[in-house]
């Protein structure tokens, strides 16, 4: 075998890709040819260099943990409360409900106004809290427990009071999102019905004209005090809603 014949086969020989007959021919040639032997030695040296441990990338031990954490952070809902497993199941229904409410507003009025959208969001928040059978994130009638619970969850201090003596026992509180901002929600019971009271800092852009409304069969009542806007939503009658508003205004 000549160098011209051996040369193109050296790489395949080194990688053990040749049949036995060809390998033996190359070996015979290498015994008498220094130049081809040098080429094979270069292959060996390159192979060894590429196998060096310093070239093998080993991911840091906590990489998986960090990736999972990053994915969780990205997937986190805007809401501040922690979604529990059963709430995931309720989300599509709630989303459909919100979409249906917005759609019916759009169809009936030829384009939803800002007030309509807010009423839809409030009713949606109220209905959602009933659907998942878990109206509150903190369940207690103790106002001294609920008030500090809001610290760090909303950037204002909602007035928290139990009106049990007046027929509106406090059930608890949660944080919801209305109009893209966090709202403190106090949940009261009136006989067997729930009343959600949404609270957020009063804004200049808010319509002051809208004081009460009936939406999708629910009563909504707005009042304000101490720089806060309050919206109560429930299926209890309007007189009861007014009573609750007065109780709030007395303590506020
Ligand atoms: Zn040769």
Predicted local confidence at residue 132, as pLDDT: 65
Predicted local confidence at residue 81, as pLDDT: 47
Predicted local confidence at residue 218, as pLDDT: 93
Structure tokens belonging to residue 116: 């309509």
Are 218 and 109 within 8 A, CB to CB?
Answer: no
Tell me the residue ranges of DSSP E strands in the chain.
138-139, 170-178, 181-190, 193-201, 212-215, 218-225, 228-234
Q: How far apart are the first and last CA of the chain?
A: 103
Instruction: Convert the pLDDT of each residue in 207-241 to its tens digit.
Output: 677 788 898 889 999 998 889 999 999 999 999 99
Which residue ranges in the chain fall short of pLDDT 50? 78-83, 106-107, 109
Residue 45 CA, ligand 1 centroid: distance in Å: 19
Residue 21 CA, ligand 1 centroid: distance in Å: 17
Residue 17 CA, ligand 1 centroid: distance in Å: 19
Residue 50 CA, ligand 1 centroid: distance in Å: 25
Predicted local confidence at residue 141, as pLDDT: 83
Residue 33 CA, ligand 1 centroid: distance in Å: 5
């Amino acid at each position: 075998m000549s160098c011209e014949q051996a040369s193109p086969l050296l790489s395949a020989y080194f990688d053990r890709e040749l049949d036995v007959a060809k390998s033996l021919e190359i070996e015979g040639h290498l015994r008498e040819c220094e130049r081809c032997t040098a080429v094979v030695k270069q292959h060996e040296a390159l192979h060894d260099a590429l196998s060096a441990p310093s070239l093998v990338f080993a991911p840091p031990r906590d990489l998986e943990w960090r990736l999972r954490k990053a994915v969780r952070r990205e997937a986190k809902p805007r809401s501040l409360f922690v979604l529990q497993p059963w709430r995931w199941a309720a989300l599509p229904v709630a989303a459909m409900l919100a979409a249906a409410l917005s759609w019916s507003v759009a169809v009936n009025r030829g384009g939803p106004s800002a007030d309509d959208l807010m009423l839809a969001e409030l009713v949606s928040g109220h209905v959602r809290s009933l659907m998942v059978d878990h109206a509150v994130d903190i369940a207690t009638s103790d106002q001294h427990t609920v008030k500090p619970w809001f610290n760090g969850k909303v950037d204002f201090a909602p007035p928290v009071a139990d009106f049990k003596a007046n027929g509106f026992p406090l059930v608890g509180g949660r944080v919801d999102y209305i109009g893209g901002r966090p709202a403190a929600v106090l949940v009261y019971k009136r006989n067997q019905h729930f009343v959600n009271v949404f609270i957020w800092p009063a804004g200049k852009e808010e319509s002051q004209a809208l004081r009460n409304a009936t939406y999708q069969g629910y009563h909504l009542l707005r009042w304000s005090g101490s720089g806060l806007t309050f919206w109560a939503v429930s299926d209890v009658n309007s007189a009861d809603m007014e009573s609750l508003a007065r109780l709030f205004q007395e303590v506020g």
